[in-house]
Amino acid sequence: MADEPKPRAIAAYRAPESRPENLAEYSYVPEALRGLAVSTGHFLRNLLFSRDPSPDVIHRRGPNQVTTVQYPEEIAPYPPGYRSMHRLVPRPDGKPRCVACYLCATICPAQCIYIEAGEYEGDPIEKYPKRFEIDELRCIVCGFCVEACPKDAIRMDTGTHTKPTYDRPAIIYGIDRLLKGPAVSHQTDVWFKRETSAPPEEAHAHPIPRSPGDEPPG
């Protein structure tokens, strides 16, 4: 073509050209009827046939095409890898795997984890969380805490989410509510290497003086 396309005014958005292709389309009526046919098809299918109540919407079958999930009567299954509510993973002896290293509290972008460390007597792992609280209202479910945890002590595999509540303090979850689920153990866990971290008796042959006001932490 000899004539170049005319330069257009530069705009942030320009609607795509959708000129009618032929007279039938230009007259609007056939296209309108086609659209009506589509609507009517959906209407009749959904009106006359039963809805497959499978909560897995993607795998619903049948002529009825309704995709609604009637929560809470029907609950759609969460996809694998879904970041659900936290749990503190227990050790085989029921104590939390957590060693209160604060890495989750450090990485947490929502500042929703509060930890207070305590000390076990005579346990191969010296440190444990006296308090481990997650403000589930503040949590943004990013999963960084799970990524950051060096001890596989916090997971988001419960498959549930935080229960709604009218009570703000009730949604701050402590160890009592977070510590649940199957226990987990790894080959590298310290308790496979040693029974206790307490020094042998002979190391205490001399009395260790207490420092002034030296109470256990907390």
Partner 1 sequence: MGRFVRMSLLGVLIAAGLCLWAWLGYVAIDWAGSATFELGWGATLGQAAAAIVFLQLLFVMILATLLMVAERKWSAAIQDRIGPNRARLPGLSRFSLGGIPHVLADALKMISKEDFVPAKANRLLFQLAPVANLLPILCLFAIVPMGPPVPVRHAFGVLFASLQIANPDAGLLYLFAIASLAVYGVALAGWASGNKLALLGGVRAASQMVAYEVALGLGLVGMMMTTGTLRLDAMIQSQSAGLFGTSWFPAWGLFVQPVGFLLFFAAAFAETKRTPFDLPEGESEIIGYFLEYSGMKFGMFMMAEFVEIITLSGVVTAVFLGGWHLSPVLDDALASAAASLVAWRFAGPPDPGAAALTLAVFQAALFAVKVIVLCWLQLAIRWTFPRFRYDQVQALGWRFLLPLGLVNVFATGLCLLLDSSLGLLGALGLAEIALVVGATLWSSSRPAALPVAAAGGH
Partner 2 sequence: MPDPSSPKPPEKAPSPAPPALVNLVIDGRPVQAKPGTNLIEAANQVGIDIPFFCYHRRLSIAANCRMCLVEVSNAPKLVPACQTLVSEGLKVTTGSPRVLESHRSVEQMLLYNHPVDCAICDQAGECKLQDYYMEFDHRPYQPAQPRVLRQKRKPIGPFVMLDQERCVLCTRCVRFMREIAQQPQLGVFARGNHEYIDTFPGQPLDSKYAGNTIDLCPVGALLSRDFRFRARAFFLSTTPSICAGCARGCNTFVDHYDGVAYRYRPRENDAVNQAWMCDDGRLTRRRLVEDRLTRPLVGRAGSRVQGRSLAEALSAAAARLKPLSGQAGLAALVSPQLSVEDLLAVCLLAREGLGLSALYEGGLADGDEDALLIRADKNPNRLGLRWVARGFGLALRPFESLLGDVSAGRVTALYAAGVEVPKEPQVVAAALGPIGLLVIQAVRHGPLADAADISLPAAPHSEYDGTFVNFEGRPQRFQRAYPEWDEARPHWRLAEALLRELGFAWRWPSARELFAELSPRVPELASFDWNDLGPGGRREPGVAARPAAADARPPGYRERAVAQPGQGKQAGGSRG
Binding site for partner 1 (CB under 8 A): 16, 18, 21-22, 24-25, 27, 29-43, 46-51, 64-68, 70
Residues in the chain: 218
Stretch that binds partner 2, among 14-22, 34-42, 69-77, 119-127 (CB under 8 A): 119-127
| Options 27, 40, 50, 106; binder of partner 2; rule CB under 8 A | 106
Size of interface with partner 2, in residues (CB under 8 A): 42
Q: Are strands 172-173 and 113-119 parallel, antiparallel or unpaired?
A: unpaired
Question: Which residue from 67, 27, 60, 63 is spatially nearest to 48, judged by alpha carbons?
Answer: 63
Alpha-carbon distance of 206 to 218, in angstroms, equals: 26
Q: Indicate the residue type of 175.
A: I
Interacting partner of 76 out of partner 1, partner 2, none (Cβ under 5 to 8 A depending on kind): none
Which one, 25 or 116, has the nearer CB to partner 2? 116
Distance CA 154, CA 106 (A): 14
Alpha-carbon distance of 156 to 173, in angstroms, equals 14
Q: Which does 159 bind (CB under 5 to 8 A by kind): partner 1, partner 2, none?
A: none
Q: What are phi and psi of 15, to 5 degrees?
A: -65, 145
212 near partner 2, rule: CB under 8 A: yes
Nearest distance from residue 73's CB to partner 1, in Å? 11
Q: What tokens appear for 47 in the block? A: 């009106």
- Interface contacts to partner 2, rule CB under 8 A: 99-103, 106, 110-111, 114-119, 125-127, 130, 135, 138, 150-151, 190, 193-194, 197-200, 203, 205-214, 217-218
